[in-house]
Every structure is written in C-alpha cells, then in structure tokens.
Amino acid sequence: MPFVNKHEITPIIYGNFPIKILPDYSFQPNELAFPPHWHDRFELLLIKRGSLNYYCSNLHIEFNPGDVAIISPKILHSGFAGDTGVVYDVVMFDIDLFFNETPASKNFLKPIYDGDLLFDNKTTNREIIDQLSAIVAAYQNQTDYHPLIILGYIYRLIGLLYTHCSASAKSAAAIEEKFEEVIDYIDKHFAEDISSSSLSRKFGYEEAYFCRKFKKNIGINVMKYIRVLRMEEAKNQILKTELSIKDIALTCGFSDTAYFTNCFKKLYQMTPSQMRERKNQK
C-alpha cells in the first residue's frame, strides 16, 4: 500500500455520467502539476502541448504531445510541467463502478482496482488515443450520447489497454515506506528553516545517501520539493488573502523578499504582484 497520508480522498462527482473529464488542464513552465499522491480511481492524461515530467515507482518519464500517461490506482505519483509548460486532457473513472458478476469483471477489472496489476505508464497507440478522443467528445456533448454508450467506450478502452500496454503484476515495495514519515514531516514544516542536512540528521541518514534516496523515491531532489511546496503555498496566499508580498514571503519560508520574487517569477512567469493584479482585474 502506498503512503497512507498521501491518499487523495476528495470524491469525484460523476452525476449521471460514468466518467469525469478535465479538458485542457494547463500549467506554466516547471510548475507543479500534481504533488505526490495516490488514489483509487483510474486516470489517463492525453498530452496536447508542451511536456510533463512524471514520477512514479522510482521512475521518471517525460510525456510529449501525442503521448498518453496511464495512471493506475493506488500508485504514488507526481508531475511537473516541462520547460515550455504543458496542456493535457484528463480522463478519470472509478474501476469499481464498472464491476459486475461476469468472470471478465472479476478476472480483468478487480486486479486493476486492487493495485495488483499495472499497465505501461506510457503509450502512443493510435486506437487508445482515438478511444480517448471519442470519450472526451462524448463528455463534451452529453446530450447527444446515452450514458450506456460511454460505458461501452470505457470497457473497450480497458480492453485496448490490456491488448497494447502489457499489463503486469505489481512489483513489491516500489517505494520505501520510511519516506512516508519524511514527506509528511516536510509537508508540515516546509515553511521552517529545514534543509537536506537537517532532514538527514533528523531521520538518521548520511546526507548524500539521504538525497539520493529521496530523489529515487519521490522523483525530485529534496530542496526542489521544499521550494515547490513554498511556491504553491505562496501562490495560494496571493490569490486568497490580502497579506503583503513581504508577509507572504516570510510565512512561506523566505527571509529575502527579492529572492522570493525571483523564485516566484521563474516558476510562474510573473511576479507575485503581477499575479495579484491579474486576480484583482477579474
């Protein structure tokens, strides 16, 4: 089982439609697209523009336009936009909603939901892309499609994944469990004066070894992970509070406002003040 505290528990509201689509999800260059987390649902990302750096099970995979990222249930994963940003469609659904009493359901759907079977993380198969495109089109024109038609689309999509993406048994212990404690500590204390040196001492590692293990398990180096958390919190405060830029910098772990502004601009392609001005103009 992946990190307990990284389980995304926010429910997806499907309504009468058996899937959820998030079209044209976009992120700025090098922006955090999604932090380390896992969920019970199945997701596919169809990359349309830019690139996505994806991390899971100690792997780093770069996705480019035309690639499909396959995110199986119960797999810890994270993603960052590439140097030119990224735009992608998200197709998500809960495998267990498609269970029935047939042998096919038991033999081919339950192992996916239980996390006992994984597909390749990446595909460019034309049939799979066409099926995803058909699902997105149906979702965007729901009045023209009966929900049962979409059920058929999903079953066919899963069949295509089995056919073309070499399902395999899940490897044991893909991620070291001790790093759950490390990540949870960072998530709670990222605004404090912490570093790879202080973290390695706290958790009983030699620093160089700790840094290598952290990057292997999480996908990025520890200081970049801390900086991303600080930037995400700063962005949230800029958009949702009236705190001054200086106060936001301090509460997010930056003692130097100028350095904070430079880091912020490098990640979001605008200064904190420009982001706040854009928000106030809406």
Helices (H), 120-164: 126-140, 147-164
- pLDDT digits over 235-276, tens only? 999 999 999 999 999 999 999 999 999 988 887 878 999 999
| Cα dihedral value 23, 126, 57, 21, nearest 10 | 20
- What is the share, in percent, of the chain residues with pLDDT greater than 90? 50
- In the predicted model, is pLDDT for residue 141 greater than 90? no
Query: pLDDT tier at 213 (50, 70, 90 boundaries)?
Result: confident
- In the predicted model, is pLDDT for residue 67 greater than 70? yes
Radius of gyration of the chain (CA): 20
Query: pLDDT tier at 224 (50, 70, 90 boundaries)?
Result: confident
Query: pLDDT tier at 4 (50, 70, 90 boundaries)?
Result: very low
Coil, helix or strand at residue 209:
helix
The residue among 70, 99, 67, 74 whose CA lies nearest residue 171 is 74
Mean pLDDT of 111-138: 92
Distance CA 16, CA 31 (A): 33
Q: Which residues of 52-90 are buried (b: 16+ CB within 10 A; e: fewer)?
A: bbbbbbeeebebeeebbbbbbbbbbbbbbbbeebbbbbb
The residue among 188, 191, 189 whose CA lies nearest residue 254 is 191
Q: Match domain 178-281 to its CATH number in 3.40.140.10, 3.40.50.300, 4.10.640.10, 1.10.10.60.
A: 1.10.10.60
**Ramachandran angles phi, psi of 205, nearest 5°:** -115, 155
pLDDT of 18 = 77
Give the Å distances, CA to CA, from 115 to 75, 121, 151, 270: 8, 14, 22, 40
Average pLDDT, the chain: 86
pLDDT of 78 = 84
Query: pLDDT tier at 108 (50, 70, 90 boundaries)?
Result: very high
- In the predicted model, is pLDDT for residue 217 greater than 80? no
- pLDDT digits over 29-45, tens only? 888 888 778 888 999 99
Distance CA 48, CA 89 (A): 7
Check if 4-169 and 178-281 are the same fold.
no
Q: Which of the pair, 169 or 8, is modelled with greater confidence?
A: 169
pLDDT of 187 = 87
- What's the residue count for the chain? 282
CATH (residue range 4-169): 2.60.120.10
- In the predicted model, is pLDDT for residue 10 greater than 70? no
The residue among 181, 193, 257 whose CA lies nearest residue 223 is 193
**Paired tokens of 97:** 């909603």
Mean pLDDT of 91-106: 90
Domain positions in the chain: 4-169, 178-281
Q: What's this model's pTM, rounded to 2 decimal places?
A: 0.72
pLDDT of 221 = 85
- pLDDT digits over 147-195, tens only? 888 889 999 999 999 999 988 876 544 445 667 788 889 989 999 999 9
